[in-house]
Amino acid sequence: MTVTKRTWLVISVIYVAFFSWYTSFKGPLSQQEIDHYLGKVNATPEELASFRKFMEDDDGDDFVMINIMEMYDTPLQIDGVEPGATTDEVLAKYMEYMFPAMLSRASHPVFRGNMVSPRTMDIMNAEGMETWSGAAGVRYRSRRDMIEISTNPEFMGRHEFKVAALAKTIAFPVAPFTYLGDPRLVLALLLGLIGCAVGWWQSRASLSSH
């Protein structure tokens, strides 16, 4: 087998392995799963109805959770918050659980930014929503993955740090979505470039030897 063929074989194996991990193939949530997750959530009847609808409408695909946040100037003083700690430091305690939990399930932030205006540029019928600190979008491999992360008992303890850091927040799921920074596309382009470069190098080496 030539170097070029071996290279493309390795590239194919790497990409298939990544694509298989990064993409959900389990399909929509089953009714058994929905009933199971509903039993793990403590919420008001309205919240449970919304949560049930979110699960029943599952298409099995990935989605982005949009988070709009306003941070406290000084975090709430709860257990685990050190005197003098900043809201960023308190929120980092929450993310100590979230980042590993998300990455283990091929979920990750796709953008984050701070608000660059002292007030919202456009607002309608949303009293009290004039000021925000920033926004972020988090890609989840599937609704199943997001629910597994958020119903983990370890999340419940960490969530208190989020409450201590955020004065208010709005979060809502968006799907379907596309973005040019999708790692599946980026990796395909990168591996394709490597394969073409190796093929070109092997071709030049073969011509030079004759």
Whether residue 169 contacts residue 69, with contact meaning beta carbons closer than 8 Å, is answered with yes
Q: What is the pTM of this model?
A: 0.88
Q: What is the pLDDT of residues 58-80, one digit of tens each?
A: 999 999 999 999 999 999 888 88
pLDDT tens string 15-38 = 999 999 999 999 999 999 999 999
Q: Which structural domains are found in the chain, ordered by start?
A: 1-24+182-210 (no CATH), 28-60 (no CATH), 62-175 (3.30.70.100)
